């Protein structure tokens, strides 16, 4: 009798709990829809936007590859304009010009196409023996004597080439540095011709003797 009574009581409790649960779900606005199939989304639900299409993530566009600067005939990188080929910048910030650029500029100057000045940084004896035609003597060690007369031309020049003997001669570098840092000329206009008068003569280019440019 006791087992039967307990079973009846448990069944009664289950019934009461079920009734109360159904009633509470009906009253709750967020209750579960008992008739709905939650394991399969119907067409009506898709139309209501309950199923969201997967979002396509676009791959970022690949960056444009950097274009390497052109190299000159010796494989040296040149970042200068085409008419200023094979120019290097030394550790002091001076522009070092090769023969091709110097000579083509000299030809342009002879034809009056550009305001280009050539400066010979050697001493008077070296200048008298041989110098680039049109070059003005400005002995690096005697600048006070020569610079005042030529400074107006330098201030208006598009390009200035400074040379000396070439090789181990550094007079051209010293003069170029002085023009830039002591006299305020733009470093973009001043170029040191590394080969100097020795390379100029070795290339078979014309020279002039005497005191006149």
Closest among 157, 161, 166 to 196, alpha carbons compared? 166
The DSSP result for 174-190, as a single string, is: HHHHHHHHTT---TTTE
pLDDT value at residue 38: 34
- Mean pLDDT across the chain: 75
pLDDT digits 0-9 by tens, 96-135: 999 999 999 999 999 988 899 999 999 999 999 999 999 9
pLDDT digits 0-9 by tens, 178-195: 999 999 999 999 999 999
**Region label for 167, one of left (φ > 0), alpha (ψ between -120 and 50) or beta (otherwise):** left
DSSP code for 142: G
CB within 8 Å of 210: residues ≥ 6 apart: 128
pLDDT value at residue 113: 82
Closest among 148, 150, 90 to 120, alpha carbons compared? 150
pLDDT digits 0-9 by tens, 134-174: 999 999 999 999 999 999 999 999 999 999 999 889 999 99
Query: Is-contact 87 95, C-beta < 8 A?
Result: yes
Q: 4 pLDDT exceeds 60?
A: no
In order of their start, the domains of the chain are 2-47 (no CATH), 88-202 (3.40.250.10)
115: its two tokens: 């305001």
Q: Measure the CA dihedral 67/69/74/75, to 10°.
A: -40
pLDDT range class, residue 74, cuts 50, 70, 90: very low
Q: How far is CA 78 from the centre of its chain?
A: 13
pTM for the whole structure: 0.61
Q: 75 pLDDT exceeds 80?
A: no
pLDDT value at residue 133: 97
Any idea how long the chain is? 213
Q: 37 pLDDT exceeds 90?
A: no
Mean pLDDT for 192-209 is 97
């Amino acid at each position: 009798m006791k087992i039967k009574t307990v079973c009846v009581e448990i069944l009664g409790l289950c019934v009461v709990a079920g009734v109360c649960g159904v009633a509470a779900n009906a009253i709750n606005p967020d209750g579960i829809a008992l008739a709905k199939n939650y394991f399969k989304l119907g067409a009506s639900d898709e139309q209501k936007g309950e199923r969201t299409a997967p979002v396509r993530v676009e791959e970022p566009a690949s960056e444009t590859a950097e274009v390497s600067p052109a190299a000159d005939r010796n494989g040296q990188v040149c970042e200068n304009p085409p008419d200023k080929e094979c120019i290097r910048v030394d550790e002091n910030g001076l522009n070092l010009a090769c023969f091709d650029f110097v000579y083509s500029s000299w030809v342009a100057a002879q034809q009056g196409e550009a305001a280009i000045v050539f400066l010979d940084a050697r001493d008077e004896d070296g200048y008298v023996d041989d110098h680039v035609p049109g070059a003005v003597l400005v002995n690096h060690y005697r600048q006070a004597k020569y610079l005042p007369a030529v400074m107006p031309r330098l201030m208006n020049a598009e390009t200035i080439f400074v040379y000396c003997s070439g090789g181990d001669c550094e007079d051209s570098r010293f003069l170029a540095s002085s023009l830039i840092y002591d006299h305020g000329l733009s470093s973009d206009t001043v170029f040191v011709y590394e080969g100097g008068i020795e390379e100029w003569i070795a290339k078979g280019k014309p020279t002039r003797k005497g005191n006149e440019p």
